[in-house]
Structure 1
Amino acid sequence: MTANIGMLTKFCLLLFSVYCCQGADIGYDTNCATGTDTCTVTGTACIDDGSGSNTKCLCDGFWEANTTPDGCVCKTGYNLNTAGDACLGEVGSACTASTDSDCLANGVCTATVDTCACGAAYLAGSANDDTCSAGVGATCTASGNECRQVAGAYCNTAVCACGAAYTASSTLCDGTTCTADSVCVDLDANSMCYNGKCQCKAGYSVNPSGTNLCVTTFGSGVNGIVGSMTVLIGSLLLAML
């Protein structure tokens, strides 16, 4: 009998301990116990409220209080991710040392200055850009749309590469050095030598979702012919000025 009472007492104490240490779900700007309570509003954490002696669930990290205030929004220079649970830094925004997940898609947190930048194989971008455009060497899909920001580039087996008349120069495509049209034509029949560099001739370009060759920019048929003639006439007028 005594043994049973002792076991029952221990069981009750255990339940009491679990209940007391379980913590609570805490809303915005409400007192909380660090390491025990859970802040339920996205972007909040149980942190010091500025008094040095009390903690509340407040906006933390790359979050700041909204105008109400009853919740958090991303700070200037940061954008909400697709899941809606994190703020990602734009190019030039501060990030936690070597934590790439703090930054925009295809971005990295630079180790030297702890700011977000576009990763290797992506165009450098400018301050406050919220996207990183694919450059030579970046991954791409069959549509090739990812490579469209680089003149002379196309999607070659899931990687952005340069067309036949072009040479990779870091993340960009530069026309292959030439001294005459024949040098370029040997590489691509629809290319020409201009200012010592090969390039697609007027009315042609490398299709990001096509092959490595220059193709008619304006499509085929009558529309293609009209488009090519328009470019040719424009080029002749410029030459005459």
Structure 2
Amino acid sequence: MITYCFTMQLPWGKHVLPIPTAQGLTLVFARPSTNGALGGTCAAAGDCTVTTNAGVCTTLKCACNTGYTANTAGTACLAALGGTCATNADCTGTTNAGVCTTLKCACNTGYTANTAGTACLANGALGGTCAAAGDCTGTTNAGVCTTAKCACNTGYTANTVGTACLATGALGGICATNTDCTGTTNADTCTTGRCVCKSTYTANTAQSACIATGALGGICATNADCTGTTNADTCTTLKCACKTGYTPNTAETSCKATGALKGTCTASTDCTVTTNAGTCTSGKCECNTGYTANTDETACSSGVMTLVATWIMLMMVITTSLIKL
């Protein structure tokens, strides 16, 4: 007897279904092969048995059970806020939700769950608990206490993830028409009630500015697209980035050479590129004591020199006035 095997998903639970044919042959329909681990293929929840707490089959993939989240590597399901636990050590799936109370992961002291129950917010921060407006100091422009929760001030709205308050008309802020979007340069388009960057611009990581395509932080397809910012000619994950040996400045508007002012360093001895910027602080080269960075962060000027320059200018004005007299 000849047997033909076909791989297909069956709605029932049997693994094979022999079907005799008119020619005396038997057709065997087998379920797809599965590995049963988190992220592996599945036809039903019963296939997902390899990874603890990953017993859900969603879009033919094994996923974490409700109350659990996958770790970064996608190899385990961690108890999240509201997930079951036996001890505090089990509660690692949600930041600041490391307390196991009545067998459920809860927010740490000083934090409260957001409305969706997906995150723990610091008391006094946007969405956190408060008794009065004076308690709301954790998030800029979120100084209003409403129904015991810190909310955005008048003229501001929460961003989509509820972590910041955006000015109405600014990037990410609410709008009714394009004319409302005047708060952020190049974010003059109103889409689904929010101000967004106009064509050929994309929002930076902090969602605070619109970056031109091809500039540092702007979108790209290849390195050749990255021509808008000096020394930012590398296209990585579809974003223009600083080339090797350079790092973004604080505002992410230019690329600084390693060892130069605002460039990266591990020790002060690395900071040799910019005169009087020989101090390594928090991994960045900074101006030495008594010096301050100029506006474009390319040089360090002495406070004394600035005072002298101001004095000279003042004397010139006085001299000019006396000559006119």
TM range (shorter): 0.3 to 0.5
Bigger RCO of structures 1 and 2 (CA < 8 A, at least 6 apart): 1
- Relative to the length of structure 2, the TM-score reads 0.28
